[in-house]
Amino acid sequence: MLRIISKSAEQTYKLGEKLGKNLQQGDIICLTGDLGAGKTAFTKGIGAGLDVKEFITSPTYTIINEYNGSIPLFHFDVYRLEGVEEMYELGYEEYFFGDGAVVIEWADIVKDIIPQERLWVTILRSNEEDSREIIFDASGERYQNIVEELMQYADTSH
């Protein structure tokens, strides 16, 4: 587990960008945290790391946005879903086991169908206005390696 304090939206974005540069096809990033904590800003950074040129927005109403980059980015926002049954209707397996990287905002809502190996990222507001605590919890060797890369970045970014 890795905890990083981000002091600004820009730093949160940059941390996402560093993560994005390390992603491969089939990677699954699970995002949780307070409403307005910075999950979409973090995802925009991931997109930048994957060379996505399109403007990334939260897919609150569409549930899934797809972006083209060095690999496809599939951005889910499951906040409005009633449960995992709706994920089956969306054909989530095609995305989870497809040719891109997956980011799931509000992942705790559908945790029962998320593969065991994944990177869980929790973004929490702190007492300072723009400051966030970002917690990375890796499940699986692939994601442990990613967290080690982020650890090196965190050591040099302060």
- Look up the pTM and report it: 0.93
**In angstroms, rounded to a whole number, what is the distance separating the alpha carbons of residues 65 and 74?**
6
Per-residue pLDDT at 11 exceeds 80: yes
Per-residue pLDDT at 47 exceeds 90: yes
Mean residue pLDDT across the chain:
91
**CATH number for the domain that contains residue 108:** 3.40.50.300
Position 158 confidence tier, pLDDT thresholds 50, 70, 90: very low
**In angstroms, rounded to a whole number, what is the distance separating the alpha carbons of residues 10 and 140?**
29
Task: Give the count of domains, the chain.
Answer: 1
Q: State CA 81 to chain mean position distance.
A: 18
Residues in the chain: 158
At 98-145, the pLDDT tens digits run 999 999 999 999 999 999 999 999 999 887 778 899 999 999 999 999
**Domain that residue 44 falls in:** 2-156
Question: Torsions phi, psi of 8, nearest 5?
Answer: -160, 165
